[in-house]
Amino acid sequence: MKELPLAKVYQLLEPGPVVLLTTAAKGKANVMTMSWHMMVEFTPPLVACVVSSANHSFAALRASKECVIAIPSAKLARTVVAIGNVSGRDTDKLARFGLTPIAGELVAAPLIGECFANLECRIADTRLVAKHNIFVLEVVKAWTDPRQKNPKTLHHQGYGKFAVDGPTIRLKSAKP
Amino acid sequence: MKELPLAKVYQLLEPGPVVLLTTAAKGKANVMTMSWHMMVEFTPPLVACVVSSANHSFAALRASKECVIAIPSAKLARTVVAIGNVSGRDTDKLARFGLTPIAGELVAAPLIGECFANLECRIADTRLVAKHNIFVLEVVKAWTDPRQKNPKTLHHQGYGKFAVDGPTIRLKSAKP
């Protein structure tokens, strides 16, 4: 994995890809599928996301105060859906789905070797957790896999239906 | 526009499309381009979004406590970028870009006739506005244009570069 400047993180998350979120607590890593996230600030990059208190990852995220957001390409679609349909409560999902945990630099949660980007995050604001399960995260380190060129991402439309990135269009804009 | 059941709203926003946000204050409507939004709850549908205090729409949103999220198809890409590059401070953007305001049912902000979906929203939580410009909105009425079949949406990757929805894949999933 190659380091990505933090100022470019928004270009990965702003398009709304389905992501994986890894946590580690009591020496046990877990992974969940997540589509409810948004950018909040460019730099330092802040990201808000919803992790339901019904998710097994919720307690690990709250206790460890850190996580990794890993971005899969469309090639991982079947794995992404499978991860979303079982719980870490009774399954070691990383092992079961053949994902390669890679040690991060600043957080204990693992990067995922098969994902084209991995963002190490620390919790920045928990004020909306109790009411809405909204966590605000700060991305403290970002990595991309230079071997995965022009990855196509997944955009979930409900019950396993996804739009895959299609053509790219480039229009002149002064705004980031 | 045809009414859409509120329980289906997440299927429009979860994929992360670029949207337009309209407001109305002091009898004046405005529109901005927005990519920083996420679903928060299925039903009643809650949506979080970031509207910067630097945006002209910020004051109108905060004062009126309501807005419309309008979802453009990729055919409106040039308009979407143009809206994002000028301010409502000195421009009547709806008129300038030839957008058709349609009266909503529950909020004063206009629907946009050219968009394939329009979501009437009221502010539900402002606790993270002061620190992060995060508004939590409740969608109170949703509309789709039945004449626009299978619209392709835009996913912004920075400075006017967009991924347009490509192929659709359908995998078996028990989860919404």
Spatial distance between the Cα atoms of A55 and B162, rounded to a whole number of angstroms: 32
Burial A7-33 (b: 16+ CB within 10 A, else e): eebbbbbbbbbbbbbbbbbeeebbbbb
Q: Residue B138's closest CA among B153, B123, B148?
A: B123
CB atoms within 10 A of CB A98: 8
- Cβ atoms A160, B171 nearer than 8 A: yes
Burial B133-155 (b: 16+ CB within 10 A, else e): bbbbbbbbbbbbbeeeeebbbbb
Whether A155 and B156 lie within 8 Å, measured CB to CB: no
Can you give the pLDDT of all 176 residues of chain A as single tens digits? Answer: 999 999 999 999 999 999 999 999 998 999 999 999 999 999 999 999 999 999 999 999 999 999 999 999 999 999 999 999 999 999 999 999 999 999 999 999 999 999 999 999 999 999 999 999 999 999 999 999 999 999 999 999 999 999 999 999 999 999 99
- Give the model's pLDDT for residue A71: 98
Instruction: Determine phi and psi for A95, rounding to 5 degrees.
Output: -70, -45
- Give the model's pLDDT for residue B161: 98
B16 neighbourhood in chain A, CB within 8 Å: 14-17, 35, 155
Whether B162 and A155 lie within 8 Å, measured CB to CB: no
Average confidence (pLDDT) over B137-165 = 98
Q: Is the ipTM of this complex over 0.90?
A: yes
Whether B168 and A172 lie within 8 Å, measured CB to CB: no
Supply the DSSP string of B36-64, one letter for each residue. Answer: -EEEEETTTTEEEEE--TTSTHHHHHHHH
A173 neighbourhood in chain B, CB within 8 Å: 81, 84-85, 159-160
Closest chain B residue to A132, measured at CA: B40
Spatial distance between the Cα atoms of A51 and A10, rounded to a whole number of angstroms: 20
Structure tokens at B142: 């949703």
Spatial distance between the Cα atoms of B124 and B113, rounded to a whole number of angstroms: 26
Q: What pLDDT, in 10s, does the model give residues B98-128? A: 999 999 999 999 999 999 999 999 999 999 9
Whether A156 and B15 lie within 8 Å, measured CB to CB: yes
CA B38 to chain centre: 11
Whether B157 and A11 lie within 8 Å, measured CB to CB: yes
Instruction: Determine phi and psi for B95, rounding to 5 degrees.
Output: -70, -45
Average confidence (pLDDT) over B129-156 = 98
A109 Cα to chain B: minimum distance (Å): 24
Closest chain A residue to B126, measured at CA: A128
- Give the model's pLDDT for residue B123: 98
- Give the model's pLDDT for residue A53: 96
Whether B133 and A169 lie within 8 Å, measured CB to CB: no
pLDDT band for position B24 (cuts 50, 70, 90): very high
Query: Structure pTM?
Result: 0.97
